[in-house]
Chain A
Amino acid sequence: MSENILLKMNHIRKEFPGVLALKDVSFELKAGEVHALLGENGAGKSTLIKILGGIYSSDAGEIVINGQVATIDKVQDAQTHGISVIHQELVLVPHMTVAENIYLGREPTKRGSRFVDFKKMNRDAKEILDPFNLDFKPTDLVSNLTIAQQQMVEIIKALSFNARILVMDEPTSSLSEKDVDFLFDNIRKLKKANVGIIYISHRMSELMQIADRITVIRDGEYIGTRSSNETNNDELIAMMVGRQLTNYYTRTFGNPQEKVLEVKNLNAGSFLKDISFHLNSGEILGFAGLVGAGRSELMKCIFGIDPITSGEIYVENEMVTIKNPLEATKLGIALVPESRKSEALFPEQSVQYNITIKSLDEFIKGIRVNHSKEGAITREYVEKMDVRTPSFNQLVGKLSGGNQQKVVVGRWLATKPKILIFDEPTRGVDVGAKAEIYSIMNDLVKEGVAIIMISSELPEVINMSDRVVVMSNGRITGCLPREDLTQEKIMHYATQFVFT
């Protein structure tokens, strides 16, 4: 590796009202290296990146690029310094096409005019999209894409800037294994081209695969930097959480009891075909598959968000028609949605509001609000989920990504559901909190709750599930009992109907 240092961030400090997000963090990046940033939820990773990307300005410290002190006050400054950032929360414009999003703000114009040349734009976009072999077109509306597809658009957009420093804040949190491999191939290509890459992820296995060096920060402080072939998971986790972490997956397998949910021959839209499966109380039923296999779509149908065209749903052996989420909730079904930003959070409202919005019946009667009950519910789930927040009144939009996720999970737990559907429950959550969520899931199934867990993280599916349903292209292609769970078998069924 060349000793050519691209970027240095020295003694960066950043304070938000009531929160010291970064105390004193230093970081350096060499050309052609992948340097990972690791830390718990709220450690300050995204804040550091946002300072580099010109979204926040630091209170102290300096940024040195190619040996020269750089001032980055706005996003354009970062771009002129060759920095391209993929932020944790997607920032695409939903009602624009893929191509329009990629070229937003730098649209190709017709010769000698200021009019956008859409033909050229779509052609150029096709050219950069093609090598990625994606199942969407430059002219597709972003709002019609799945979250993972949107994530790919973000990545491709960032790549298209020909950046010398590329920052990825949890790019894989909504990608499945196959997409991740694919992303890594591209990262390796970029490394060869001497691009420096800052990579943030809570998936430890990924860091070992792709990162050259790993820097750990904790509570806004620099803890240390390790080269990835001289360290291991345990050391990194200890650096991250400040203690040893035992028992990552907590799961006591019991005997699943009676059927609580059964779906028979369900068809919906033009995509979901002939879906049949059942769920028992006291079990975790994993749902695996490639992104776009139709898992989230299926759950939205069951939860009454999207209509079904035919088929039957039974809850506790009674046939039901679920027309909207309220009816689903009344039947004891809860859905922790896939995208916390667009489907779950009220960013301008407090942590308390966000946790209790589904439990209002418990403490509001008419216009009498039982504040102590409200506070007690909030406290219970803030503690249970270990949400790191300066107060219950902090706006949720100001929490770190992982802590936002914990708030969302807490909201649904507070409804005490009988059937709990988790769509990517640990997305963007740090190792410690993941272990916490697993142990909560375990407690819930012990109490007899039935859990469906959609996850793109195979180790999570394999270690937590009693059975795993595999979907591919809108169909169920397999259902594996715990004894048969291996990555290979799951991938075999997951690629059943995919022809590439």
Chain B
Amino acid sequence: MNVAKSKTEKSKVVTFLTHNPLFNFGKENLGILIGLLLLSLILTIFSPVFLSKHNILNVLRQVATNLYIACAMTMVIILGGIDLSVGSTIAMSGVVTGGLIAFDGQSIVVAVLAGLFVGLVVGAFNGFLISRTTIPPFIVTLSTMNIMRGASYVYTGGQPIRVMSDSFNFIGAGYVRGIPVPIIYLVIIVIISVLIMSKSKLGRHIYAVGGNPVAARFSGIKNNRVLFFAYLFSGLMAAVAGIVLASRMFSGQPTAGQGAEMDAIAAVVLGGTSMSGGVGKIGGTVIGALIIGILSNGLNLLGISSFWQYIVKGIVILIAVYVDFLKKRKEGTN
């Protein structure tokens, strides 16, 4: 008993520090933060344009769409699942939005809402099957991934749908006070995700269901609702990314978003989220996505071919995950 009491004084200091989000963020992500800084430093030295405002906005714009998906993917992976369908949902929501404007003459608002709805439907479908059956998320979303890719080809006949509308283009390529709109969405989405994960009951329930589903059930958590939410959110985020991409390219393309799920997963894993579920943070994912974005940007600036870029990306992911493994082993978690 006396042990516990003498600890309370000390724990006040500890509580203060651990409730300081910045302190925690730095401590938890020390490794990849250093990686990110080193990477930026090297690029600053070797490429004069790297630190220019134009280039930074460019990187952020590219990072943005990946991060919309990666934020939701973080939740999905913490829940011990995976969502492979986001790439083709990007395509489907893009072509539906584009099609409604170009073919049906619908207003942009209606078209965008319809595009978002596509994402919600895919997410709800995944979420329903995953929360109500024992079919693994990998299989469920592998199926929807194929279905959605096929559906976007069928809908478009394989051709991009051109949308020559400036106001539609504004959604993904416009600026507000000099800031590209996709970055504004990004900030909003990251803030919402962080709030969900670190402040809300839902967030704690996500960690519980991912960490030990049986114990979560015993604790009165409705596991299937939590799972359903995560996949629904994932579908919605994919749709946002799809609409932004379509708007930026003046067209809904059935080939859009190919491999997007892999970039999102890479960002999540780089950010320290465990594929076995139960642990992970949005903050880490943000850094992970930045590393991936800056890496491709830097390799472009240095004139390295995109063929080599894949190889470099693969190696970087492996190194990051391996370092994390070494760190965990040293801490003695078995």
Closest residue of A by beta carbon distance from B332: A16
A305-B217, A343-B214, A358-B220 are contacts. A369–B14 as well, Cβ < 8 Å? no
Tell me if A397 is interfacial: C-beta within 8 Å of chain B: yes
Tell me if A232 is interfacial: C-beta within 8 Å of chain B: no
The complex places the Cα of A239 from the Cα of B195 at a distance, in Å, of: 50
Tell me if B134 is interfacial: C-beta within 8 Å of chain A: no
Tell me if B55 is interfacial: C-beta within 8 Å of chain A: no
Contact (Cβ within 8 A) B14 A346: no
Which of A104-112, A269-277, A359-367 lies at the interface? A359-367
- B residues near A379, Cβ cutoff 8 Å: 8, 11
Give min CB distance, A419 to chain B, whole Å: 14
Instruction: Mark out the residues of chain B between 210 and 232 whose CB falls within 8 Å of any chain A CB in the assembled complex.
Output: 211-212, 214-215, 217-222
Contact (Cβ within 8 A) A358 B219: yes
* Chain A interface residue bracket vs B: 35 or more
Instruction: Mark out the residues of chain A between 330 and 354 whose CB falls within 8 Å of any chain B CB in the assembled complex.
Output: 335, 337, 342-349, 353
The complex places the Cα of A343 from the Cα of B19 at a distance, in Å, of: 29
* Chain B interface residue bracket vs A: 35 or more
- A residues near B332, Cβ cutoff 8 Å: 16-17, 56
Contact (Cβ within 8 A) B215 A344: yes
The complex places the Cα of A325 from the Cα of B214 at a distance, in Å, of: 11
Contact (Cβ within 8 A) B199 A367: yes
Contact (Cβ within 8 A) A371 B201: no
CB < 8 Å neighbour of A348 from B5, B15, B279, B334: B279
- B residues near A366, Cβ cutoff 8 Å: 200
- A residues near B201, Cβ cutoff 8 Å: 360-361, 364
Contact (Cβ within 8 A) A343 B4: no
- B residues near A173, Cβ cutoff 8 Å: none
Closest residue of B by beta carbon distance from A50: B334
Contact (Cβ within 8 A) A346 B11: no
CB < 8 Å neighbour of A371 from B11, B14, B19, B222: B19
Question: How would residues 1 to 41 of chain B score, 1 for a CB under 8 Å from any chain A CB and 0 otherwise?
Answer: 10111011011001100110000000000000000000000
Tell me if B132 is interfacial: C-beta within 8 Å of chain A: no
Contact (Cβ within 8 A) A348 B278: yes
Closest residue of B by beta carbon distance from A375: B15
Closest residue of B by beta carbon distance from A326: B220
Contact (Cβ within 8 A) B15 A324: no
CB < 8 Å neighbour of B333 from A358, A364, A368, A398: A398
CB < 8 Å neighbour of B278 from A346, A364, A393: A346
A386-B1, A388-B3 are contacts. A349–B211 as well, Cβ < 8 Å? yes
CB < 8 Å neighbour of B211 from A305, A346, A368: A346
Contact (Cβ within 8 A) A360 B204: yes
Contact (Cβ within 8 A) A392 B15: yes
- A residues near B196, Cβ cutoff 8 Å: 367
Give min CB distance, B2 to chain A, whole Å: 9
29 contacts between A and B (CB under 8 A): A17-B331, A324-B220, A325-B217, A325-B218, A325-B219, A343-B214, A344-B218, A345-B212, A346-B212, A348-B279, A349-B207, A349-B208, A349-B211, A353-B204, A357-B204, A357-B208, A357-B219, A358-B219, A360-B201, A360-B204, A361-B201, A364-B200, A367-B195, A367-B196, A375-B11, A379-B8, A383-B4, A388-B4, A389-B7
Known A-B contacts: A383-B4, A383-B5. Give 19 more (CB < 8 A).
A16-B332, A324-B220, A325-B217, A325-B220, A326-B222, A337-B218, A342-B214, A343-B214, A348-B211, A349-B278, A360-B204, A361-B201, A364-B201, A367-B195, A368-B199, A379-B11, A391-B14, A395-B333, A398-B333
